[in-house]
Amino acid sequence: MTHKILVTDAAQRKSVPIIRALGRAGIHLVCGESARYSMGFYSKYCRKSYIYPDPEKEDDFIEWLIDQAKQGVFSILFPIDERTMTPVTRHLATLQQYMLVPVVDYQTYMMAHDKAKTIEMAEKYGVPIPKTWWFSTLDQFHDRRNEIEMPCIIKPRISSGSRGLRYINERDALERGFLEIHQKYPYPLIQDCLPPGGATLGVEFLLNHGKVTAFFMHRRLREYPVTGGPSTLRESAYDKDLIEMASRLLCSMGWHGVAMVEFKVDPRDQVAKLMEINPKFWGSIALPIFAGVNFPHLLYQLAVGELPLESSPIYRYPVRCRWLIPGDILHFIANPNRFQLHPSFFDFRGESDDLIDRNDLGPLYGMFLSFLSQVFTENIWKKYIGRE
């Protein structure tokens, strides 16, 4: 049987390296998104593009997926971002009657997606965490607010990237900040704000029902916004103890598919502390592919029952991958120490890039069209210039 993959969320930057990795492996793939001008549509490896209903209209989206699978448009579904992962995992049992979907069930997905549940599991399995406070009522917050140490960071229980984060340096700002975040993201967590200077580390995995089949690790070098956001430059790394700690967490959940576990080193005690689990493809997916771990192709092999029996692929380290346009350019502009960066902004030796590929320039054209289509909207300026 010749399988066809639908890669969702084609407007996302991370869709591009996933599409390229599958296409270069000779896999027939189509791409979907709810917006017309989506960069993944313009990759030469995308055989056909489809505009699907907004995934927030969950019933319409699931019905569309089933209808397209019945018509033979695709036989394997790769939901790659939160907008599609949430409805797909919620309706997983129904979808699996019509297609292969190599992801976890909704309950397990939410264990990782909800930061409070992640923290509870980390405590259970001995994974270090920053000091954390969480509340189930506003009365609990008011009763315990004087226990909270400054500085701290308010985090939505469920969100991705830097959305909803609020740094609090003064106690007088704590209540107002908490209540403002609570209006959009109910009952957020409050965590000890780790001092600057510690490395941010990501450990990525592919698991087969709780068994690790591939892993990778990277160190974040730059990000935008400069104070915290998606990485714009990162390099592969290796730490056996951290990899084992992260795998223990995911294996205990019986994880299936891909996920990333993020840590930040606390410079006060040099201990890597858990930040979150990213229960889907991560934004820096281009780096492991470049370094030798082709997670998209391995996920395809897992879905069709052809996963190699040998141990995880060996990867190269340290090698670097950059998100130049516009990510690292914006970091350079915003960083007052732009000419003292290490590595230098102008050092491109041996690097790969999330989007720039001279053999597949279409996604850059798609990104430009997408920007033009949204140039007069508030969201595009929030995304690239400000923050939510």
**DSSP conformation letters of 108-122:** HHHHHHSHHHHHHHH
pLDDT, residue 312, reads 79
> pLDDT class for 377, splitting at 50, 70, 90?
low
Q: Are residues 161 and 247 in the same domain?
A: no
Q: Are residues 301 and 272 in the same domain?
A: yes
211 in any annotated domain: yes
CB atoms under 10 Å from CB of 139, counted, come to 9
* Long-range CB contacts for residues 69-72, cutoff 8 Å, separation at least 24: 69/98, 69/99, 70/98, 72/4
The CATH number of the domain holding residue 38 is 3.40.50.20
* Residue 260: strand pairing partners: 204, 278
pLDDT, average across residues 30-35 = 97
Q: State pTM to two decimals.
A: 0.93
The CATH number of the domain holding residue 220 is 3.30.470.20
Domain extent, residue 256, equals 200-357
Q: Are residues 187 and 232 in the same domain?
A: no
- Residues 6+ away with beta carbon under 8 Å from 213: 206, 207, 298, 302, 307, 312
Q: Are residues 139 and 214 in the same domain?
A: no
Number of domains in the chain: 3
365 in any annotated domain: no
Q: Are residues 266 and 323 in the same domain?
A: yes
pLDDT, residue 238, reads 98
pLDDT, residue 161, reads 63
| Of 384 and 244, the one with more pLDDT | 244
What torsion do the CA atoms of 174, 175, 180, 183 make, to the nearest 10 degrees? Answer: 130
Q: Are residues 278 and 352 in the same domain?
A: yes
pLDDT, average across residues 326-347 = 96
Lowest mean per-residue pLDDT among 133-137, 161-165, 200-204, 245-249: 161-165
Q: What backbone phi and psi angles, to 5 degrees, belong to 259?
A: -170, 160
339 in any annotated domain: yes
42 in any annotated domain: yes
Tell me the longest C-alpha to C-alpha distance in the chain.
Answer: 63
Contact 317, 291 (CB under 8 A): yes
pLDDT, residue 222, reads 97
325 in any annotated domain: yes
Residue 1 scores a pLDDT above 90: no
pLDDT, average across residues 138-158 = 93
Q: Are residues 204 and 348 in the same domain?
A: yes
- By percentage, how much of the chain surpasses pLDDT 70? 95
> pLDDT class for 388, splitting at 50, 70, 90?
very low
Q: Which residue has the tokens 């450990």?
A: 203
Residues 5-32 as b or e (16 or more Cβ within 10 Å = b): bbbbbbbbbbbbbbbbbbbeeebbbbbb
Question: What is the C-alpha separation between 217 and 210, in angstroms, rounded?
Answer: 19
Q: Are residues 187 and 206 in the same domain?
A: no
pLDDT in tens, 97-121: 999 999 999 999 999 999 999 999 9
Dihedral sign (CA 337, 343, 346, 352) = negative
- Residues 6+ away with beta carbon under 8 Å from 300: 3, 5, 22, 25, 27, 76
Question: What is the C-alpha separation between 153 and 228, in angstroms, rounded?
Answer: 12
Q: Are residues 180 and 94 in the same domain?
A: no
Rounded alpha-carbon distances, angstroms, from residue 336 to 194, 215, 231, 376: 22, 36, 18, 28
Q: Are residues 75 and 19 in the same domain?
A: yes
Overall residue count recorded for the chain in this entry: 388
381 in any annotated domain: no
> pLDDT class for 348, splitting at 50, 70, 90?
very high
Residue 261 scores a pLDDT above 70: yes
Provide the mean pLDDT of the chain: 93
165 in any annotated domain: yes
Query: Percent helix, strand, coil in the chain (nearest 5)?
Result: 35, 20, 40
Residue 379 scores a pLDDT above 70: no
Q: Are residues 320 and 236 in the same domain?
A: yes
157 in any annotated domain: yes
pLDDT, residue 193, reads 92
The CATH number of the domain holding residue 139 is 3.30.1490.20
